[in-house]
Amino acid sequence: MTAYRDAMDAPVPELATRAARCAERLRAADDLLLASHIDADGLTSAGIASTALERAGIAHDVVFEKQLDREAVERYAAADYDAVFFTDFGSGQLDVITDYEAFTPVIADHHQPADAAIEFHLNPLLEGLDGGSELSGAGASYCVARALEGDDGDNRDLAALAVVGAVGDMQVVEGELIGANAGIVAEGVEAGVLDASKDLAVFGTQTRPLPKLLAYASDVPIPGITGDRNGALRFLDGLDAELREDGEWKAWADLDTAARRTVVSALVQRAMRTGVGADEIEALIGTTYTLCGEERGSELRDASEFSTLLNATARYDRAAVGLAVCRGERGAPLDAARDLLREHRQTLATGVDVVREVGVERESHVQWFHAGDRLPETVVGIVAGMAMGEDGVEAGVPIIAFAEKDDGGDDEPGVKVSMRGTPRLVERGLDLSTVAAEAAAAVGGDGGGHEVAAGATVPAGRETDFVAAADAAVSEQLGS
Ligand code: C5P
Ligand code: C5P
Ligand code: C5P
Ligand code: ZN
């Protein structure tokens, strides 16, 4: 029943006291609701929390929300819960939550806290840690899970899910997880559930056949390979390495060390020959987080592929499927998740064509497009990010995307806004979370998010005013 012996045993020592207090309150709960954010980080948060609660013998219901608004909090208050455990959200809505006295809130989050104090609140920002890059919602939940440790284990195996959450929230900095996240990685490695090693930093190392892997890798564009399947085929065919098995292309994960070395050094040579910059070439290599307990060739084995699988459930209102996978269920839930992933890929692929068809407008400091009802509001941001650098979309200019909100017809019409920047722009001073908040406020909407990715909801018809306000805000941040 004891929480970890002292702070030095905790995955994040700065948060040990808060974690122990949260854990203690959860143990005392009679009727507990676990409420989490509906994205990859929120799903892994709920997976960690739910598993740890179950191991501790604490019964609970689980609910997911796209956004934690007053209506949701009111619903919880009207039900018979004496405590609600909020994961991956809650801090930003503290002012609303504290309006209700029907339940005790327990919060494990990493978003900017609103101005209100509560007793059971774990958030890296409260202890001077960076909630954008050093700890995710899943990491915050993991801290509480570790404090819930009991006779049947210390929950260190859940570190793997915490890493999936951090990767899903794009917390990787220059190729690796840092700060408190790195401490969690170390616990996972020690527990034998995680491997962290330097490898080719490209999405799809477990599941994509080599030509597709290289042709689709757009983070570091290499002329003659990126976006060019035939070019990638010619490149691979020219290498002296065992890259096929029974005539079929292998996946990266199936290559031995020698073959990997051959491919990487040829890639680097090609990049140098075609004028790719030195720091971009360096970005080809990063830390790969592998979940050792999962089968080779499964999406679940790679943290980045796992998080995309979860997004494919969460962004289409199928969070229960993603949660089941996070809780270790295989078979039907995993099959369902894989079907959703196939559809998600299809949506993303056609999404980039939609951007081309509706056309991107260039302002002085931003570019923008309006997808209307042709893209779901939940993926328009992902598509905007993927479209950067494609035909007709500049790579080094923040992009704003609009999509009609699907309100089931009963709410006031709103428009979803998604914004995406690049790490390079953030280095130069871009903070899209401020841009989203300010520009939304200017047109009577609501927005926020991260420096590199933000979103908002604005009233229909105010899109061009939003663009103008955002253009001005970005201009101020980046200078003219
Ligand atoms: O919900 P919010 O925190 O969860 O969204 C995270 C989103 O931010 C991801 O879906 C991703 O599209 C975006 N992002 C990005 N590039 C980054 C960091 C985040 O596109 N470097
Ligand atoms: O933007 P968010 O974090 O939700 O998306 C996950 C990221 O995974 C995408 O931005 C994209 O770079 C990558 N991805 C991919 N191929 C897919 C799906 C996602 O490269 N089929
Ligand atoms: O939906 P999208 O992926 O574009 O969201 C990017 C980021 O902006 C997420 O972190 C999300 O939580 C945030 N966001 C927000 N307020 C909104 C919409 C999105 O803070 N109204
Ligand atoms: Zn998060």
Indicate the helix (H) or strand (E) that contains 461.
none
Q: Which among 66, 213, 305, 386 is the best mutation to test ligand 2's pocket, defined by most ligand atoms within 8 Å of the CB?
A: 386
With contact defined as beta carbons under 8 Å apart, do 47 and 157 qualify? no
Ligand 1 in reach of 453 Cβ (< 6 A): yes
Residue 1 falls inside a structural domain: no
With contact defined as beta carbons under 8 Å apart, do 112 and 91 qualify? yes
C-alpha distances (whole Å) from 204 to each of 75, 184, 217 are 40, 23, 9
Q: Which of 312, 327, 347 is the last residue of a domain?
A: 347
* Six token digits for residue 154: 């210390």
CA dist., res. 134 & res. 175, Å (int): 13
- Which ligand has the minimum distance to the alpha carbon of residue 39? 1
Residue 414, phi then psi, degrees to nearest 5: -130, 160
The half-sphere exposure of 387 on its side-chain side, counting CA atoms within 13 A, is 32
Nearest to 263 by CA among 236, 223, 291: 236
Residue 179 falls inside a structural domain: no
Statement to judge: residues 284 and 308 lie in one domain? yes
Ligand 3 in reach of 137 Cβ (< 6 A): no
Helix axes 40-55, 137-147, angle to 10 degrees: 10
With contact defined as beta carbons under 8 Å apart, do 157 and 294 qualify? no
Residue 17 is part of which domain span?
A: 7-168
Instruction: Encode pLDDT of 94-150 as tens digits.
Output: 999 999 999 999 999 999 899 888 999 999 999 999 998 999 999 999 999 999 987
What lies within 8 Å, CB to CB, of 19 at 6+ separation is 3, 10, 12, 122, 143, 144, 146, 147
Residue 377 falls inside a structural domain: yes
- Which ligand has the minimum distance to the alpha carbon of residue 451? 1
* Six token digits for residue 107: 């919060």
- Transcribe 159-209 into DSSP letters: HHHHHHHHHHTT--BTTB--THHHHHHHHHHHHTSEEEEEEE--TTTTTSB
Statement to judge: residues 214 and 335 lie in one domain? yes
Atom of ligand 1 lying closest to residue 381 CA: 12
Query: Residue 169's Cα: distance from chain center in Å?
Result: 3
- Describe the strand order of the beta sheet including 399-404 as a list of residue ranges: 361-362, 367-370, 399-404, 414-420, 453-459, 446-449
pLDDT in the model for residue 6: 58
pLDDT in the model for residue 22: 98
Atom of ligand 3 lying closest to residue 381 CA: 4
- Which ligand has the minimum distance to the alpha carbon of residue 415? 3
Statement to judge: residues 205 and 267 lie in one domain? yes
Statement to judge: residues 308 and 376 lie in one domain? no
pLDDT in the model for residue 409: 56
What is the Rg, in whole angstroms, of the alpha carbon atoms belonging to the chain?
22
Instruction: Encode pLDDT of 220-262 as tens digits.
Output: 889 899 888 899 999 999 999 999 999 999 999 999 999 999 9
Q: Which of 314, 347, 380 is the last residue of a domain?
A: 347
Q: Which amino acid is at 427?
A: E
What are the pocket residues of ligand 2 if the criterion is a CB atom closer than 6 Å to any ligand atom? 170, 203, 308, 311, 345, 348, 382, 385-386
Q: Residue 209: how many CB atoms within 10 A of its CB?
A: 17
Statement to judge: residues 19 and 161 lie in one domain? yes
Statement to judge: residues 22 and 123 lie in one domain? yes
Give CA angle at 388 (385, 392), nearest 5°.
140
Statement to judge: residues 341 and 366 lie in one domain? no
- At residue 322, the 3 state secondary structure works out as helix
CA dist., res. 434 & res. 478, Å (int): 13
Q: Atom 17 (ligand 3): residue with closest C-alpha?
A: 456
pLDDT under 50: residue ranges of the chain: 1-3
Q: Which amino acid is at 241?
A: A
Residue 454 falls inside a structural domain: yes
Nearest to 304 by CA among 280, 283, 278, 286: 286
Q: Atom 12 (ligand 1): residue with closest C-alpha?
A: 382
The complex scores an ipTM of: 0.79
Q: Residue 372: how many CB atoms within 10 A of its CB?
A: 12
Find the length of the chain: 480
**Domain CATH number, residue 409:** 3.10.310.40
CA dist., res. 163 & res. 361, Å (int): 37
Ligand 3 in reach of 453 Cβ (< 6 A): yes
Statement to judge: residues 391 and 315 lie in one domain? no
pTM of the model: 0.86
Residue 379 falls inside a structural domain: yes
Residue 210 falls inside a structural domain: yes
User: How many whole angstroms from 149 Cα to the centroid of ligand 2?
Assistant: 34
Domain count, the chain: 3
The answer for 176, left when phi > 0, alpha when psi is -120 to 50, beta otherwise, is beta
Residue 138 falls inside a structural domain: yes
* Six token digits for residue 306: 């796992």
CA dist., res. 326 & res. 402, Å (int): 31
pLDDT in the model for residue 390: 79
**Domain CATH number, residue 81:** 3.90.1640.30
* Six token digits for residue 80: 């018979």
The answer for 444, left when phi > 0, alpha when psi is -120 to 50, beta otherwise, is left
Q: Which of 148, 168, 188 is the last residue of a domain?
A: 168
Statement to judge: residues 114 and 239 lie in one domain? no
* Six token digits for residue 218: 């757009």
Statement to judge: residues 365 and 404 lie in one domain? yes
Statement to judge: residues 367 and 334 lie in one domain? no
Statement to judge: residues 14 and 163 lie in one domain? yes
| Pair type for strands 83-87 and 32-37 | parallel
What lies within 8 Å, CB to CB, of 56 at 6+ separation is 26, 27, 148, 150
Residue 405 falls inside a structural domain: yes
Q: Which among 39, 41, 45, 67 is the best mutation to test ligand 3's pocket, defined by most ligand atoms within 8 Å of the CB?
A: 67
